[in-house]
Amino acid sequence: MAIVKKKPSSKDEDIFGYTSPRKRKRRKGKRRGSRTPLVSAKEARTRNTSTADTLKTAVCSYFLKGGYSCFQELGVTSWGTLRADVICVNLRRRIVICEVKSGPRDYRTDKKWREYAKYCNRLYIVMCDRTFEKLKDQLKVDLKGTGAGVMVLNPTTGYLDIVIPCKKREVDDEVSMNLITRMAWRGGISKRTNRRTRQYLRTDNEAQEDQEAEVGSSRRKRRTS
């Protein structure tokens, strides 16, 4: 009498095609721990990356080509009460601030983006194409008189497109120097990323002992070889 093996039910798998260790034991002929994901690595990376992070990366890529240096999540005021998503500056001290909006709700709940206008020469609101289609009519009313522009991530090319141009404005010298000083401080080695540590110099005797130990070890290696 032939023995018929029961095929594993699809209920034993989750949406990614993985099976739990207990349910995996039921499979005969399958090596323990083997997995057969139903999504590719590219799709998995896309799911793990948030919309805001993708837009910030697109902003940096856009302005890097124009010779700008970009900083993410930089405070424009003391104690970080106003923190811009992306700030870009070039060697002519032209400052661009980009506020990233991941969706319609993010745009409607955040009204602080108007306060960034006095800290930059150009101000942009960055969003994806789906968000722009939903907010197209509202943006025409909200941006009137602010001089801000809109940049949209093109789903075909993967680059940002300026759909609503912004108006250039002059920034007070004291304000621009304050921002540039913050950027320079953040870009250097500071207590923001490092801690104070003790450093000691070796004495001449210790250095000589280490050198003799290295010479002795090299001689032993030659003898054994």
Per-residue pLDDT, 32: 45
Burial of 130 per CB tally in 10 Å (0-12, 13-18, 19+): middle
Q: Would you place residue 2 in the very low, low, confident or very high pLDDT band (cuts 50, 70, 90)?
A: low
Burial of 193 per CB tally in 10 Å (0-12, 13-18, 19+): exposed
Among the CATH numbers 3.30.160.150, 3.40.1350.10, 3.40.50.360, 3.40.50.300, which is that of 47-187? Answer: 3.40.1350.10
Calculate the average pLDDT of the chain: 81
Whether the predicted pLDDT of 35 surpasses 50: no
CB-based contacts of 162, cutoff 8 Å, min separation 6: 124, 149, 150, 151
Which residue has better confidence, 172 or 196? Answer: 172
Tokens in use for 18?
């993985």
Per-residue pLDDT, 95: 96
pLDDT digits (tens, 9 = 90+) for 142-159: 999 899 999 999 999 999
pTM: predicted TM-score of the whole model, two decimal places: 0.67
Place of tokens 């990323």: 193
Which residue has better confidence, 160 or 223? Answer: 160
The SS3 of residue 38 is coil
pLDDT digits (tens, 9 = 90+) for 52-61: 999 999 999 9
pLDDT digits (tens, 9 = 90+) for 87-99: 999 999 999 999 9
| Proportion of the chain above pLDDT 90, given as a percent | 55
